[in-house]
Chains A and B, each alone.
Chain A
Amino acid sequence: MLGLVVALVVNALLLAALGANPVTAYSTILSAALGSVAGLAQTLNRTTPLLLGASAVAFAMRAGYVNLGIDGQIYAGAILATGVAFLLDGWPAVVLLPVVLLAGLVGGGLLASIPAWLRATRGINELFVTVMLNFVALFLAEYLATGPWTDPVAGEAITVPISAAADLPRLLPGGGHAGILLALPVAVGLSLWLARTRSGFEFRAAGSNPLAAGFGGVRLVRIGVVALVVAGALGGLAGAIEVTGVHSRLLTGLTPNFGYMAVLIAVLARRSPVATIPVAFAFAVLIVGADSLQRSVGLPPSAVLLFQAVVVVSILAFETARGRRLVARLVQATRRSPGRRRAGGVA
């Protein structure tokens, strides 16, 4: 909370320094993102991939795994979804759409099964593998969008459109698609699963103390595979939703770093999938609103990134201070940070 206030104040100062009136700017953000049905539609469209990605990341983090590969999984899901849509061209929407979304899940899950497999069999850290695969998936999408599937008239890296039968139904005028209706239950469901089920308990135990969990009969390798593959599948679903809901085709630039934002959102939401809902929504408001700032107040696009960075840094800074006190209170065995240890004088 305090972090948010600090972020707003710092951003206000920044806006003033850039020659804009902070009050006007903030109200522009809010009215652009929430003040009209079209704005709200845009905001919800942005929320969807952020929410799916962040709840997936949070979910894997609870088991102790960090998935930095949401971006790659979005592309993988989008590629398979687009491919299946091309293949099944002419099928009726009731069948086609679910199959295409399923293809998204499978695509993301398949890509994530690589780090999962390497981790399970070789103990290779998933951090590196997921990051590297982001590039692989991006370049594969670029190849397809400029090569076999390319739209010859477009002149950029985009494919020909998929069948209209595969388009997500509209929820709101102004392009608001129904993806949010898939993302919300996913976030809620993941949290419920973690809190209420036996496997969810094992998941959290593995993330909290793997050694003790191992003695308690928790199958750690299996949990690692599930954590990474499920998170990847949800990333893939986000990709399929972008394709069927927003663009109707595959293109590069499908994800403007949704994956990294998803990690930030997951951390800010303290690794609780359900808590990523408000955070992802707030991020979407900021993104959509700041886009319009560019136009109305005439700020450079980089200012938007700057604002996001300020929000993240201030919230994290206050979270860690909190965290440190919490840990000190909780853990009888002290965990003094190296910084504090250095404070002593030499004998």
Chain B
Amino acid sequence: MIKFKLNDADVTLDVEDDMPLLWALRDHLGLTGTKYGCGIAQCGACAVHIDGQPGRACVTPVSAVAGRTVRTIEGLGGEHPVQQAWKAIEVPQCGYCQSGQIMAAVALLENNPRPTDADIDRAMQGQLCRCGTYPRIRTAVHAAARASGGANRDSES
């Protein structure tokens, strides 16, 4: 039995220790907002927060989060300032990678409320988008920082 805190609720799972957190979330806990894209920590579609830090659910064995706190896109509630910015800017195209993009952006802003373009580049470089929403993501991260009280040092592009 593996126990951890998921989006503020206690969960207990009877699965193999080496099952990736991604598939435990999707197939055993019914949370499909976290996506499969590569399985090898290359694309960021599976980005979640583990104890507040960004992590890759596709390469994290579920046993590694025992006793820890996991937050997924479902845990943001839909009206998080980053999600509001994403909606205002209408960032998504197909939308598939956006859960991961948003989780990465939330982690960035929690660690750095006033990111520069270079900070955003660093934080988002592991998040692939095949539709090419990168410019709108940049705009939305700046907008979310502004809405949360962080002043931008750069102009938005």
A and B assemble together:
no
